[in-house]
């Protein structure tokens, strides 16, 4: 075995390897035949690829599609979980204009989170699950003890630090005691703004429990925290003793979702999928060549993204494929002295992204484009020639032309 064969195809270091899914398992990748073994190191997998994939799966426009179209995040293992969607904010608005903190869960269904809202002395307890409301109310006395801590996460170059404000209970109110900067968040309440993009308050000031645990306070200004927490602490015994709200289901709600996606990271995650498929198709020696250095650099370290091609015509053609599949195409194009290699990716039936992953790579002269369809509900990848995929599309187009109904896929 030569040294190159014992090194990672991405970072070139000789480190312990871990199995790498050619296509991310959480988005329906194949757990059996599309695995790169002894080719990608654990460091790249954990420290570079996992955060990139998380961005693509939970914090991108594709995350919303994933939530609607993929009921479980993966089939392998004993705990297939629902897909997660990381939004900055999600609010449900009822017909009276009342706003509640919500979260989108599987199927894109909105769920009201357990929360207490207070405005001008009026208190509302909101939620749609008795067990969750009970757990939320049981958690608050600990957080609102003689001391309460309000935390703000501050991103830094190395990760994050935490701005912690401490409040002391004087028997009637919380009084600010002091601020500290901490490398780790203490047990406390997370502070977020109630203000929307135009600076207006979105709903009543509120304290709520996120689906995955954190307790969050939303007020207009940090200075409003003390009075809101005082009000909550005073009403807590009454709330815990009174029956839960009855009307918890909102009819025809309006849902507002806000998110901050990082296009650079989403591109890097897609480029990695392209290089993985190239490695699986043409072998690791091809991908190790210097032709891939540039795209490897982008995937590993970011930097300038590769310009995406305008694919309007291809888009129209591919859109006749209505199956629940992702499509990845490797496009070798003969050039002088070799091939250029482009990748086309279509996720959840959305728009097509196409980019170059190698400008001049040595491939057998007869190499033709190849299509991979990722059947994400079955965690199964199919490989077919580009001409047979185009044939499939043409048949679908003809069916769509003669029949008003949706064309049925052969294996749907
Ligand atoms: Zn590596």
Residues 145 and 34 in one domain: no
pLDDT at 312: 72
pLDDT at 39: 96
Q: Which domain holds residue 26?
A: 17-68+262-399
Residues 285 and 237 in one domain: no
Please say whether the beta carbons of 55 and 85 come within 8 A. no
Among 258, 277, 297, the domain boundary falls at 258
Place of tokens 């709903």: 203
Among 258, 274, 305, the domain boundary falls at 258
Residue 52 lies in a domain: yes
Q: Report strand pairing: 109-112 vs 35-41.
A: unpaired
pLDDT at 177: 95
Residues 250 and 277 in one domain: no
Residues 176 and 135 in one domain: yes
pLDDT at 250: 58
For the whole model, what pTM was predicted? 0.69
Q: For residue 311, count other CB atoms closer than 10 A to its CB.
A: 16
Which residue in 257, 259, 261 sits closest to 52, CA to CA?
261
Q: Is residue 90 scored above 70 in pLDDT?
A: yes
Residues 141 and 51 in one domain: no
Residue 62 lies in a domain: yes
pLDDT at 91: 87
Residues 254 and 266 in one domain: no
Residues 133 and 107 in one domain: yes
How many domains are contained in the chain? 2
Question: Can you spell out the DSSP letters for 363-397?
Answer: --TT---EEEEEETTTTEEEEEEHHHHHHHHHHHH
The SS3 call for residue 140 is helix
Among 226, 241, 258, the domain boundary falls at 258
* CA 325 / ligand 1 centre spacing (Å): 29
* CA 14 / ligand 1 centre spacing (Å): 8
* CA 45 / ligand 1 centre spacing (Å): 7
* CA 299 / ligand 1 centre spacing (Å): 11
pLDDT at 353: 84
* CA 20 / ligand 1 centre spacing (Å): 11
Place of tokens 């002269």: 365
- What's the token pair of residue 86? 């990381």
Residues 288 and 207 in one domain: no
Ion ligand 1 neighbours, Cβ < 5 Å: 8, 10-11, 41, 44
Dist. CA 65–CA 67, nearest whole Å: 5
Residue 7 lies in a domain: no
Residues 221 and 239 in one domain: yes
Angle (nearest 5°) at CA 344 between 342 and 349: 180
Residue 130 lies in a domain: yes
Q: Which of the pair, 325 or 196, is modelled with greater confidence? A: 325
Percent of the chain clearing pLDDT 90 (strictly above):
54
Which of 210-224, 301-315, 334-348 is predicted with the least confidence, judged by mean pLDDT? 301-315
* CA 300 / ligand 1 centre spacing (Å): 9
* CA 356 / ligand 1 centre spacing (Å): 22
Residue 278 lies in a domain: yes
Dist. CA 121–CA 115, nearest whole Å: 16
pLDDT-derived band at 346, boundaries 50, 70, 90:
very high
């Amino acid at each position: 075995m030569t040294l190159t064969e014992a090194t990672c195809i991405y970072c070139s270091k000789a480190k312990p390897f871990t199995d790498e899914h050619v296509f991310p398992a959480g988005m329906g990748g194949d757990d059996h035949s599309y695995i790169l073994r002894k080719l990608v190191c654990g460091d790249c997998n954990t420290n570079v690829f996992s955060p990139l994939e998380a961005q693509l799966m939970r914090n991108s426009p594709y995350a919303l599609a994933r939530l609607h179209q993929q009921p479980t995040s993966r089939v392998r293992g004993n705990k297939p979980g629902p897909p997660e969607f990381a939004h900055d904010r999600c609010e449900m608005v009822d017909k009276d204009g009342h706003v509640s903190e919500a979260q989108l869960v599987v199927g894109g269904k909105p769920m009201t989170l357990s929360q207490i809202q207070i405005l001008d002395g009026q208190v509302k307890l909101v939620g749609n699950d008795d067990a969750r409301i009970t757990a939320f109310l049981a958690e608050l006395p600990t957080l609102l003890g003689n001391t309460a801590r309000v935390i703000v996460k501050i991103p830094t170059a190395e990760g994050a630090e935490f701005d912690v404000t401490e409040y002391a209970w004087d028997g009637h109110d919380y009084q600010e005691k002091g601020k500290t900067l901490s490398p780790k968040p203490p047990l406390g309440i997370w502070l977020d703004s109630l203000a929307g993009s135009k600076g207006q308050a979105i709903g009543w000031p509120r304290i709520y429990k996120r689906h995955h645990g954190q307790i969050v306070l939303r007020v207009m200004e940090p200075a409003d925290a003390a009075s809101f927490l005082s009000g909550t602490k005073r009403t807590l015994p009454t709330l815990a003793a009174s029956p839960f709200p009855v009307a918890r289901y909102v009819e025809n709600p309006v849902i507002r979702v806000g998110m901050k996606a990082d296009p650079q990271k989403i591109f890097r995650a897609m480029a990695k999928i392209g290089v993985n498929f190239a490695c699986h198709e043409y072998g690791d020696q091809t991908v190790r060549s210097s032709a891939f250095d540039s795209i490897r650099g982008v995937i590993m370290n970011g930097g300038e993204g590769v310009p995406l091609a305008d694919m309007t015509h291809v888009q129209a053609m591919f859109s006749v494929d209505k199956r629940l599949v992702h499509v990845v195409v490797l496009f070798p194009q003969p050039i002088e002295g070799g091939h250029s290699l482009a990748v086309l990716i279509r996720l959840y039936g959305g728009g097509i992204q196409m980019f170059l992953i190698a400008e001049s790579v040595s491939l057998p002269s007869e190499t033709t484009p190849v299509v991979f369809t990722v059947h994400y509900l079955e965690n199964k990848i199919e490989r077919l020639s580009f001409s047979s995929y185009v044939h499939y599309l043409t048949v679908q187009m003809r069916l769509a032309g003669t029949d008003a109904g949706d064309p049925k896929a052969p294996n749907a």
